[in-house]
Structure 1
């Protein structure tokens, strides 16, 4: 029986033959958590000189620090060896190209007939302002260590360069 996932299942068979990550510890070997976007142009390990097991990678639309991201960071800090956090949105992000969640709801309703108003997308066309806000959410979260190093940068999808965002 053929499915829409046959290509992926076949690729996994190839992956299994070359698999070399057995026994890798579940902690972040380099103590890093990276919050970044789900955009497929982003390769967090490669762009930061990391390898599997070095970092915890948290991905969502827009690289936003949501309540779920904070929950995951708390677990990563206390149970998975994370002792520093980088928040890394990117240029040309669809979530930063709209003015509000309402605009996204309207686009989806008009183009697909789906009412998404029950969801919060955390859009913000002031990407640097949103990044600074998200950094503060981490720095002031009562369950995260007050001295947890947190940094923000923007990844350029056209050059591969990350640029730090000054506080």
Structure 2
């Protein structure tokens, strides 16, 4: 396990002050966030929350996929979620590259053809965000009482811009 020794050591240190044992897993602040997997995003910190406050779903581009909808429905009905933020970000690879460009880069890195793998690029980030927010708002298992917003996170300033 030497490839993971640094992380396991950090985990041991983390566990020394771990305070979530026995926590029921609800979203204490009633928030769910769908955002990108980009490591420049701190989904809790960017809205002033802490662990235990929100449900987080991450994927390339911060898209409302079927899996994200599944998580949101479960969050709304079982985990105290009553506000949902959909948050893509500036300078995102899936919003600033074509499918062909991503395939060229991945194929070059992997050394094998990657064209069989789908990369769901975003051609118009704001229009896609509006459509994704609408997917959540119109889902039959997401009640109208749930507040849903779409925001673009600026990775250079840390600010959220309301869009949808």
TM-score under structure 1 length normalisation:
0.90
> What SS does the corresponding residue of 1:44 show, helix, strand or coil?
coil
Task: Figure out how many residues of one structure are paired with residues of the other and give that number.
Answer: 164
Name stretches of at least 5 consecutive residues in structure 2 with no aligned partner: none
Unaligned runs of 5+ in 1: none
Distance 1:20 1:84 in 2: 25
* 2:128 aligned residue (103, 127, 130): 130
Q: Helix, strand or coil for the counterpart of 1:4?
A: helix
Q: 1:116 offset after TM fit, Å? A: 3.6
- The list of structure 1 runs, each at least 4 consecutive aligned residues, that deviate by more than 6 angstroms after superposition, is none
Are positions 1:164 and 2:162 aligned together?
Answer: yes
Residues 8, 64 of structure 1: alpha-carbon distance in 2 compared, 3 angstrom cutoff: same
Residues 57-96 of structure 1 correspond to what in structure 2 (within 5 A)?
57-96=56-95
Shift of 1:102: 4.2
Q: Residue in 1 aligned with 2:54?
A: 55
1:114 equivalent among 102, 112, 128: 112
State the shift of 1:55 in Å.
0.7
Equivalent residues of 1:96, 1:123 under 8 A apart:
yes
What is the TM-score normalised by the length of structure 2? 0.91
Match of 2:143 in 1: 145
Distance 1:96-1:8 versus aligned 2 partners, 3 A rule: same
